[in-house]
């Protein structure tokens, strides 16, 4: 089954404690991205990756890092989380950034930073 898998689904942690949210897709997609969803703001892109070893900033990259060492994986790293990063996070993938390609989304990771 084609899917994007994120882990963990839920995490409560404290300010400053490094955390990683993993994302894996099994569709051989080249394009992957991370979004955060906040009430009234819709989804905002954090980082994206056009292919292995190619990453770039989205609209709200501050406080986040990503890596793309393998095609299927695109982890999101919060090196020193702060309460304003409390949010619902989604990983997505598609066959390319072409405008007519829909993105496939994971089920989301709810992060609470205390």
Q: Which of 44, 65, 71, 72 binds other proteins (CB under 8 A)?
A: 44
Q: Which of 1, 62, 69, 98 binds other proteins (CB under 8 A)?
A: 98
Q: Which of 105, 88, 108 is nearest to 27 (CA)?
A: 105
- 112 is an interface residue for other proteins by CB under 8 A: no
Q: Which of 66, 90, 111, 113 binds other proteins (CB under 8 A)?
A: 90
Interaction site with other proteins (CB under 8 A): 4, 33, 35, 40-45, 48, 58, 90, 92, 97-103, 105-108
């Amino acid at each position: 089954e084609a899917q994007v898998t994120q882990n963990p689904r839920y995490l409560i942690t404290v300010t400053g404690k490094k955390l990683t949210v993993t994302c894996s897709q099994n569709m051989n997609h080249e394009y992957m991205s991370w979004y955060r969803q906040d009430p009234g703001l819709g989804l905002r892109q954090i980082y994206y990756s056009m292919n292995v070893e190619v990453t770039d900033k989205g609209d709200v990259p501050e406080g986040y890092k990503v890596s793309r060492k393998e095609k299927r994986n695109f982890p999101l790293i919060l090196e020193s989380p702060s309460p304003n990063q409390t949010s619902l996070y989604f990983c997505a993938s598609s066959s390319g950034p072409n405008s007519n390609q829909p993105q496939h989304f994971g089920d989301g990771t709810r992060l609470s930073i205390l």
